[in-house]
Amino acid sequence: MIAEFFITSIVVILILSGIIQLFFWGGWFRKLGRYTPPPPSSSSFPPVSVIICARNEAKNLKKNLIYFLEQDYPNFELIIVNDGSTDKTLEIILDFQKKYPILRLLSTKGVTPPGKKAALNLGIQQARFDRLFLSDADCRPISPQWLRLMQQSFSSGTSIILGYGPYRKSNGFLNKFIRFEAFYTAIQYLSFALAGYPYMGVGRNLAYDRIIFQQAEGFTRHEHLMSGDDDLLVNQMATADNTTINILPDARIYSTPVSSWGSYYIQKRRHLSVGGHYRLQHQLALGILALSHFAFYVSLLILAVMTPSWWYYLTLIYLVRMGVVLLAYTEASKHLGERDLLIYLPLLDFLYLAYYLLFAPTLLTGSRIHKWK
């Protein structure tokens, strides 16, 4: 009797989680694949400020800074905020400054709070122009047209542009998983934005008007947190009316992924530690999505072990869900690239269970890491 009740309960969990998964993947996330980027909303190119914060980033700046400085844009400044670097960051910036007068150097003073918010706040306050484009020192625009294309997404009433920031491709399974996780995250936040519920953006490729920062009172609501300079600000201020996305291939900014599992763990803990500060409706939606994903696989595996005679039906259920997920990923890859990951999708999708287990404490408790570099 107890065994029958247990099996019945697991079946109910499988069905409910499957329905939720089909709702997200069959409807919500296919918005991105079906999305047709509109023609440029703006034909004007006002002066803009690009801001990058750097702490001990000499190697990355030496490789990547030129890609920002050589943007095909009529009038812009590039601000590098040196946040207490002890390597040759300052020397690299000064070398570039000799050739590029549009490059401005700012430096934080004294001890700053955890994270890069103090540095970014300085950059925003000192920026000469009111339209702000943000990225990181370990990133580079894929094209000299990045700034021009992102600017053209601004229109009347639009104050926030969510761009796409994939990771560079290299060998190894860690690279595939990092790229997959970034791809999956992009599908989520871009699809939510298209549905009128923007909840985050990534600081690797993000633009907003200074008025957004001022209306949010800067980072004051979450200045005690090391992360959140990008997603928490967007979560606080983005609406269906003032936010749009830009997923044009030449508007991407690529980032160099970490090369060890330990570094990835620390990086993700830092990023995920602010999730508990999202708006309640966003926490609920993302929590239901993650829980249904986890529950689907766990209930499927339990039933496969306890009821081997059901394998045919369980396989069919799995294939239906995976077919819908694969369709959504394939459609999204037309905009975001990463098509080479599709062959690994069944494995990566399953291994995401380990991701949930590993980072559940951080998501639930908001555990803090006190250094960003």
- pLDDT, one tens digit per residue, over 343-354 is 999 999 999 888
Query: Is residue 265 scored above 90 in pLDDT?
Result: no
Query: Is residue 226 scored above 80 in pLDDT?
Result: no
Q: What is the pLDDT of residue 355?
A: 82
Percent of the chain residues topping a pLDDT of 70: 93
What letters, b where the CB count within 10 A reaches 16 and e where it falls short, cover 70-92? ebebeebbbbbbbbbbeebbbeb
Residue 364 belongs to a domain: no
Confidence of residue 363 (pLDDT cuts 50, 70, 90): low
Tally Cβ neighbours within 10 Å of residue 52.
26
Residues 334 and 251 reside in one and the same domain: no
Q: What is the pLDDT of residue 301?
A: 94
Residues 286 and 200 reside in one and the same domain: no
Q: E-strand spans in the chain? A: 48-54, 76-82, 103-107, 131-136, 139-141, 160-162, 206-209, 243-245, 253-255
Residues 78 and 167 reside in one and the same domain: yes
Between residues 22 and 373, the one the model is more confident about: 22
Residues 27 and 124 reside in one and the same domain: no
Which element (helix H / strand E) includes 303?
Answer: helix 280-306
Residue 268 belongs to a domain: no
Q: Is 284 left (phi over 0), alpha (psi -120 to 50) or beta?
A: alpha
Q: What is the pLDDT of residue 365?
A: 53
Q: Which structural domain, as residue segments, surrounds residue 314? A: 2-33+281-358
Q: What is the pLDDT of residue 364?
A: 54
Query: Is residue 370 scored above 60 in pLDDT?
Result: no
Question: Is residue 156 a contact partner of residue 44, using CB atoms and an 8 Å limit?
Answer: no
**Quick one: CA torsion of 157, 164, 364, 297, rounded to 10 degrees?**
120
Task: For 66-86, write each residue's pLDDT tens digit.
Answer: 999 999 999 999 999 999 889
Point out the domain boundary residue: 235, 263, 291: 263
Q: Starting at the edge strand that comes first in sequence, how are the strands of the sheet with 160-162 ordered? A: 103-107, 76-82, 48-54, 131-136, 206-209, 160-162, 243-245
Residue 370 belongs to a domain: no
Residues 98 and 228 reside in one and the same domain: yes
d(CA 322, CA 22): 9
Confidence of residue 112 (pLDDT cuts 50, 70, 90): low
Residues 308 and 192 reside in one and the same domain: no
